[in-house]
């Protein structure tokens, strides 16, 4: 079922936490709301769930206006960050609660609970209480409770953040698999870009209550709409330098660096250049490259991160192969891959090169 947000606004007293959010979550897709903490993503999810009132705007599920409906009338399911299992009930009762309050016949409840428990491999835990389960098991029960009712829309609020790193990777894959099996629209909230990139069909990046960009993970990564998205997505983060465009070059620290040919339209403008660490290349050529001193070398296993200090004090992070032989305080020269350069307006932060390309 498609979820449509129509100019959604939310105010807590004088605090304006969500501003004019227009967003369509396509039917049966996995969409992630991504942003730093305090960006309003959880509030938005809670509004879709009906747990938070909408100050202004409308929420539509498949064309039906649900803005004023109680959570129970929306046929949604939600997995909470804290799992929110009912502590006094056994796993069996936890899973069946949603069906029980809807007066489903007992036989149907039992078979639905057994079915879901089998899928999630928690059928041996049915008579335990949440307090007797490990974090991963609780996570599965919370998922099961959401799955058992066959909801139209699946909401998840940072469901993996309480798990250890290894389990998180496993659950990432499993969540994605469940999504494909369930065939429901999934809205997933996280501040972890890796989760967003690996699991989503679409990502909506939010910052300070404003939707920054909506697109596929590739679009978000390769064509960030503004400086915020560019700096938030990608690890290690994108490097930024200020420069003036001159023809198809950008002049940084007096050095002319190549840009793609269509950048010529921006000639004469002072812009922010963004370049990802893997799009910088160490070179022997002294001309047309930025000189700098290596100030830090970090080995990550398969690659190395090199921090280079430029004249004037700017720092750039460069990603190279692990076998690259670079020593501390060595002078190096950097070039950028022209077609991987991003240019942003210095005032508004909007991507300008992308607009021309489009």
Handedness of CA 80, 81, 84, 90 (dihedral sign): positive
Q: DSSP 3-state assignment of 102? A: coil
Count interface residues toward other proteins (CB under 8 A).
Answer: 27
**Cα distance between residue 156 and residue 8, in whole Å:** 20
Burial, 111: exposed, middle or buried (Cβ in 10 Å; 0-12, 13-18, 19+)?
Answer: exposed
* Contact predicate 245/49, CB 8 Å: no
Least separation in angstroms between residue 158's CB and other proteins is: 12
| Contacting residues for 151 by C-beta, under 8 A, at least 6 apart | 75, 76, 77, 184
Tokens of 195: 């989760």
Q: Which of 14, 15, 87, 313 binds other proteins (CB under 8 A)?
A: 87
The nearest distance, CB 199 to other proteins, in angstroms, is 22
Minimal distance in Å, beta carbon 192 to other proteins?
20
**Which residue lies nearer to other proteins by CB, 1 or 210?**
1
Residue 76 or 117: the one with the smaller Cβ distance to other proteins is: 76
Which residue stretch of 34-42, 93-101, 262-270, 347-355 sits at the interface with other proteins (rule: CB under 8 A)? 93-101
CA distances from 264 to 243, 342, 353 (A): 14, 14, 10
Regarding 78 and contact with other proteins (CB under 8 A), the answer is: yes
Q: Binding other proteins by CB under 8 A: which of 17, 24, 69, 84?
A: 84
Q: How far apart are CA 281 and CA 334, in angstroms?
A: 6
Cβ atoms within 10 Å, residue 26: 13
Report if residue 145 touches other proteins, rule: CB under 8 A: yes
**Minimum CB distance to other proteins smaller for 72 or for 346:** 72
| Closer residue to other proteins (CB): 135 or 173 | 135
Among 40, 130, 144, 274, binds other proteins (CB under 8 A): 130
Burial class, 90, CB count within 10 angstroms (exposed 0-12 / middle 13-18 / buried 19+): middle
Please report whether residue 92 would count as binding other proteins according to CB under 8 A: no
112 is a site residue for other proteins (CB under 8 A)? no
Cβ nearer to other proteins, comparing 137 with 272: 137
Residues 25-54 that bind other proteins (CB under 8 A): 49-51
Between residue 149 and residue 188, which ones bind other proteins under the rule CB under 8 A?
149
Q: Which residue in the set 39, 77, 175, 230 belongs to the binding site for other proteins (CB under 8 A)?
A: 77
Q: By CB under 8 A, tell whether 70 contacts other proteins.
A: yes
| Whole-angstrom distance, CA of residue 257 vs CA of residue 104 | 68
Q: What span, in angstroms and rounded, lies between the C-alpha atoms of 37 and 32?
A: 14
Q: Is 80 in the site for other proteins (CB under 8 A)?
A: yes
Q: Enumerate binding residues for other proteins (CB under 8 A).
A: 49-51, 70-72, 76-78, 80-88, 97-98, 101-102, 130-131, 138, 145, 149
């Amino acid at each position: 079922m498609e979820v449509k947000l129509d100019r959604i606004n939310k105010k807590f007293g004088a605090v304006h936490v969500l501003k004019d959010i227009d967003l369509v979550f396509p039917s049966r897709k996995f969409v992630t709301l991504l942003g730093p903490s305090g960006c309003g993503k959880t509030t938005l999810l809670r509004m879709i769930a009906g747990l938070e009132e909408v100050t202004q705007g409308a929420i539509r599920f498949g064309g039906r206006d649900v803005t004023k409906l109680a959570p129970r009338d929306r046929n949604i399911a939600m997995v909470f960050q804290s799992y929110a299992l009912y502590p006094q009930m056994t796993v069996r009762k936890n899973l069946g609660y949603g069906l029980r309050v809807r007066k489903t016949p007992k036989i149907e409840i039992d078979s639905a609970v057994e079915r879901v428990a089998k899928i999630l491999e928690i059928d041996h835990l049915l008579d335990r209480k949440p307090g007797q389960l490990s974090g991963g098991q609780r996570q599965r029960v919370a998922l099961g409770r959401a799955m058992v009712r066959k909801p139209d829309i699946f909401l998840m609020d940072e469901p993996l953040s309480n798990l250890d790193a290894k389990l998180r990777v496993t659950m990432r894959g499993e969540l994605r698999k469940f999504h494909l099996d369930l065939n429901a629209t999934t809205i997933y909230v996280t501040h972890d870009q890796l989760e967003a990139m690996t699991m989503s069909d679409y990502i909506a990046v939010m910052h300070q209550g404003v939707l920054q960009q909506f697109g596929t993970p590739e679009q978000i990564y390769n064509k960030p709409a503004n400086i915020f998205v560019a700096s938030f997505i990608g690890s290690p983060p994108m490097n930024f330098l200020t420069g003036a465009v001159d023809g198809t070059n950008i002049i940084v620290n007096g050095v002319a660096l190549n840009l793609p040919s269509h950048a010529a339209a921006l000639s004469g403008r002072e812009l922010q250049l963004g370049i990802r660490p893997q799009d910088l290349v160490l070179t022997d050529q002294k001309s047309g490259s930025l000189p700098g001193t290596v100030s830090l070398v970090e080995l990550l296993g398969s690659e190395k991160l090199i921090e280079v200090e430029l004249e004037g004090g700017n720092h750039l992070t460069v990603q190279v192969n692990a076998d690259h032989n670079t020593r501390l305080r060595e002078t190096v020269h950097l070039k950028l891959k022209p077609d991987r350069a991003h240019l942003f307006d210095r005032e508004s932060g909007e991507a300008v090169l992308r607009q021309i390309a489009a």
